[in-house]
Amino acid sequence: MNALLKLSRLIDKLSEFIGKTAIWLVLVVVLISAANAVMRYTIDYSSNAYLEVQWYLFGLIFFSCSGYTLLRNEHIRIDVLYTKFSRRTQIKIDIFGILFFLMPMVVGVIVLSWPVFVDAFESGEMSNSAGGLIVWPARLMLPVGFFLLALQAVSELIKRVGFLKGMCPDPADKSKQATPEEELVNAIKSQKGEV
């Protein structure tokens, strides 16, 4: 179990790195969007490539951060009955959900989306829009994003089993975690050297 917990920590570090890196992609998307709008209204120039880059980056942010969202326990869940159970029962429900709902869905999406990416890559598929971009990078985001989610699901499963065995703290305890807003402020401060 100790080796699995070490693997879980490595996966968590990867998800944390990806999530914190993606914060900066949001800024890039905003800058591209603003530049596109300024050029459209000042020099009457616009390109579908700029719009598609924004869409690609939004997709990259969304798909690459799904594992990070699971790590931070910020995913959507219906807590009508869940909160009424003991913490150990909640963990058992989480394990059941990961094994019988999350993992089959993730594996299904990866299996079904990979051939779509391969086909786009091999054919050199281009966007139908004038001045559009190649399509395969967007098609690759789906299987890669769901693979990252599968990795994090494995980590969450390990941590929950470890918690039930008394070998690690509660993986869903948010008391020590900074809010997303606090994380962004800290990231900005660290870039300025103020932390």
Q: Encode pLDDT of 2-25 as tens digits.
A: 899 999 999 999 999 999 888 889
Q: Give the predicted TM-score (pTM) of the model.
A: 0.81
Q: Which residue has the higher pLDDT, 44 or 140?
A: 140
pLDDT for position 168: 86
Predicted local confidence at residue 53, as pLDDT: 87
Give the pLDDT band (50/70/90) at residue 170.
confident
pLDDT value at residue 122: 93
Indicate the domain borders of the chain. 2-192
Amino acid at 73: N
The tens digit of pLDDT for each residue in 92-138 reads 999 999 999 999 999 999 999 999 999 999 998 888 777 778 889 99
More reliable by pLDDT, 80 or 155: 155
Main-chain dihedrals φ then ψ at residue 85, nearest 5 degrees? -90, 165
